[in-house]
Structure 1
């Protein structure tokens, strides 16, 4: 290939990279006539060096630690005001086995929920401390919400949950992402008063179906704590690849192997799957579609915890990380292909050397006979 055409090809590659925001290498152009893998590698290598100096790609929006979301501390010892606490301790609970355990212990009874809520259980304490009932909502997604449950009782219940957990989270993350709010009963004299969240408090209506109101608020709390766990997971992931971005900026060598990059890619896809496919963060659950009052409460809870914006920010960060991992994977794959090409060239050279030796030996043998 002529030098001018090589220069033209490199310039086109640079334009292609700029079009893709600089996050993806070109795939090997072995299918293009007269362009070898080694040339493609040289093109990508030059592109890689150039992108290392384009610091705005990796440092204009540097990876930073997730800011701590401000939480309003709950009130204490105020008459008529109680606490509701949401905690997520694992990816999933085995609800069926848990309910068998609950029945055997005899401390709580199950309240019946609509049949389309098969991923949640509503429990009420059998013994009373005061006039306000003590309720627990357990979600299969690995979260539990306590209504008017003392801290000691919460600890005991969480301890009994451990044997039913799948993929438990770290204790420090669980404690940090827990949500606690105040709740109270509406003081309105109207029987048709509606539940709401006001002044950082959950206000329950005078409705006779207060169980479903508590469940709806619990659903919003569950979404918030699960999203908080995933935010912490992504923050930890970003911190783990911070050194890679620094190496790219400084022009150093990549310290990740192909296996490690593949593992990093899998972690991103798993987190994206949890947020966008396995949860209801992007849409209102079907359960609320024909229950207007509960849907209003659920959307109000989603708005209070800023679920929509937090999910959008998470997806933006995931997209950015995915672009970076794609860049690393493409570069390592190209290096691997170049290494294979050189191995083939060396083998061919060895074969040629052996053939030369054989030709020399045959000529020497024929000359000795003569």
Structure 2
């Protein structure tokens, strides 16, 4: 007999001659049904998805062969943002309203080396600058004025360069923009040229990152990073086109910083009038004087004028770029910064908030007029009452005199 048959026969023989129960061999000689097989850990499709999405080891994973327990994998930490990302650009409840960015002039589908980026810093320290005094101050501190012969007048923009190669752009709107330089380098020096300087608490600072790309002739923006094309500068040694691009980007950033000052001022205005709607809802009178109402109305009108009339915030293109060559694309650079910082959406939102503030001011003026009218009416009523009292007194006195004369005549 074959060896396997001998083994089976021995088991059968042992089963016939002994009373001890011998378990039968669990050997399948036919196709096994799926229900009799052990559960497979990787059978469910969600296991693969969970292992890919979480990245954490499964609690059912076996230990290493050496018997030592496996240490849990430390969680991955997010990379630290650069210095420019710490000062986040202001997006005042407008992310959901942000329009889709158009591809006109903006970089798309290209990688940017953010590790080599530096900062563009803009700070608004006053309502405006005396540009002649700005020139004298920068010259006195040893800065090179208009080193690339950009051709802009001092009343439009002042370009200065430090000994380390960093650029400084001063705009008449009271904003200073620095490239690869901290804004504190010239802020203190230019305070003397500031007209209506802002308090330190009201100043606004905004930053953008920029990367110099020597393989590009034109510049653009990749997200919130300015990509500065320096191919012509390195090839020909002429920095004029690069400087003009910097002026365009700086003008757009200065516009956003100036707008941030108005946003802060409007926030302070709403904070000072925050209790008025709740007082009106309670039906109680307003303990506000006519002077306070006139003051708040004047503040609101001043804010609206600073936004829409006395500045270039609402202009699609500043006057300094009207005469620039079209091939330079300065208008596109200016618009790209505006889209990246949501300037148009913020202006629209700011005007809507001012409309709401205008409604509150109108209600206050109407209530003040009603109170004044009511006061005048009471004054008139009191005067009439006094006149009636005096007239009654006169009548009584005359009556007494007549009585006295009649009594004297009878005697």
1:194-205 superposed matches below 5 A: 194-205=218-229
Distance 1:183 1:93 in 2: 26
3-state SS of 2:208 partner: strand
Assess if the C-alpha contact under 8 Å between 2:122 and 2:253 holds in 1: yes
Structure 1 residue 228, shift from structure 2 partner: 0.8
> 2:399 is matched with which residue?
363
SS at structure 1 position matched to 2:257: helix
Q: CA RMSD in A?
A: 2.4
Partner in structure 2 of residue 167 of structure 1: 196
Of 377, 394, 399 in structure 2, the residue corresponding to residue 341 of structure 1 is: 377
Change (3 A) 1:282 1:145: same
TM-score (normalizing by structure 2) = 0.65
1:158-307 aligned at under 5 Å gives the runs: 158-174=187-203, 177-188=204-215, 193-206=217-230, 207=232, 208-283=240-315, 284-291=317-324, 292=326, 293-307=329-343
Quote the offset at 1:359 in angstroms.
Answer: 1.8
Structure 1, unaligned runs of 5 or more: 1-65
Q: After TM superposition, list the pairs within 5 Å mapping 1:1-370 onto structure 2.
A: 67=92, 78-79=115-116, 81-111=117-147, 112-115=149-152, 118-125=155-162, 127-128=163-164, 133-149=165-181, 151=182, 154-174=183-203, 177-188=204-215, 193-206=217-230, 207=232, 208-283=240-315, 284-291=317-324, 292=326, 293-370=329-406
Q: Post-superposition shift, 1:115?
A: 4.6
- Greater radius of gyration (CA): 2
Contact 1:204–1:210 (CA under 8 A) maintained in structure 2:
yes
- In the TM superposition, residue 307 of structure 1 has moved relative to its aligned partner by 0.6
Distance 1:359 1:200 in 2: 89
Q: Which structure would you say has the larger RCO, counting Cα contacts within 8 Å and 6 or more residues apart?
A: 1
TM-score by structure 1 length? 0.72
SS of 1:272's equivalent in the other structure is helix
Unaligned runs of 5+ in 2: 1-90, 96-111, 233-239, 407-411
Q: Is the 8 A contact 1:113 1:121 kept in 2?
A: no
More helix by share: 1
Q: Deviations over 1:164-221 (max 9, x none)?
A: 22232232442xx3111221222325xxx32111132111223542111111101000
Query: What is the CA distance between 1:78 and its match in structure 2?
Result: 3.9
SS in 1 for 2:177: strand
Give CA-to-partner distance per residue, 1:25-59, whole Å, 9 cap, x none.
xxxxxxxxxxxxxxxxxxxxxxxxxxxxxxxxxxx
